[in-house]
Amino acid sequence: MRELKYNNGQGDYDQNSGIAVKFLHPDKKDMTIIYDGLLAKSGSDQIYLHTGFGDRWDKTYDHRMEPTSAGWEKTIQMESNNMNFCFKDSASNWDNNNGQNWVFTLSR
């Protein structure tokens, strides 16, 4: 598992996987995930952010991401102090950190 953390109010960035997490407001409820990893570099026509909250992947959902100049982006609401996530494309190819996924932890 690659753990991303809330750093100085800015979120986190993992250069190796091409993932950034940024907060839109000081309340830390809305966050943007930016993905420029393996699937994006492979020319996927659509990428989805697959999320689940808490330790057991509660409320799993596939969020359609939007292409931008920085990569694929999606803004979501943080529903728990941690969010598990990975990515898939429209052909069901996954980028899941070699089966370990990613988790974002928010200290409140």
Any idea where the domains of the chain sit in the sequence?
Answer: 2-105
Please answer whether residues 101 and 108 qualify as being in contact, where contact means their C-beta atoms are separated by less than 8 angstroms: no
Q: What average pLDDT does the chain have?
A: 84
Architecture of domain 2-105: Sandwich (2.60)
For the stretch 9-56, pLDDT in tens is: 556 666 677 888 887 666 667 889 999 999 999 999 999 999 999 888
Please answer whether residues 34 and 56 qualify as being in contact, where contact means their C-beta atoms are separated by less than 8 angstroms: no
pLDDT at 10: 56
Residue entry with tokens 């407001």? 25
With a cut of 70, say whether residue 7 has pLDDT above it.
no
